[in-house]
Each structure stands twice: as structure tokens, then as C-alpha cells.
Amino acid sequence: MNIYALKGHKVKCETLSAGYDYHKEVAQKYLEVGKEYTVEKTEVDSWHTDVWLQEFPNVKFNSVFFEDAVEQSEEMNKQHPDYCRFH
């Protein structure tokens, strides 16, 4: 998924068997493969990106579980608060 996804961006759960064991446990508890979700926010780090979804307030997921349902433009990516840290 686009790690610079802004609030309202649509993503789809691609897998439940990625990331570390803790990430898998959280994903398996809340997510369904093939289902679409709405991004609340992402926090980009050098090793991974955390994703919060509007459907599950206060639960963070690893970005490895998702693919973009629609693409977000590069211009939109630049609006993300973490974009300048890595570009």
C-alpha cells in the first residue's frame, strides 16, 4: 500500500500472514482478506509503517497487510506529514 495514504484513502486487506507474530495476531482478530477499509492515518518509520483504520479506532496495523484500492497521486503524497522526512 501507499505508505503516505491520507485520511479517507481506501485500502484492501491483501493477506493475514505477513509481518511479525504480534502483527498477525492483531490482523487476524480484526481484518478480513479482500475487504476494503478506510485509512484514518499512517505513521511512516524507517523500518515499517503503522496504519490506523476508521473502522477500528485505536488499533494499529502494519502496512504489509494492505494494498491500495485506488491510487493516490504523488501530489497528494506530498501532503502527508512524514513525506519530507524520507524525500
Q: Return the pLDDT at 59.
A: 98
- The DSSP secondary structure of 26-68, one letter per residue, reads HHHHH--TT-EEEEEEEEE-SS-EEEEETTSTT-EEEGGGEEE
The whole-model pTM stands at 0.94
Name the pairing type of β-strands 60-62 and 66-68. Answer: unpaired
Domain residue limits, the chain: 10-86
For residue 68, give Cα distances in angstroms to 2, 9, 22, 43, 53. 7, 8, 23, 16, 13
Q: From first to last of its 87 residues, what are the pLDDT tens digits of the chain?
A: 999 999 999 999 999 999 999 999 999 999 999 999 999 999 999 999 999 999 999 999 999 999 999 999 999 999 999 999 999
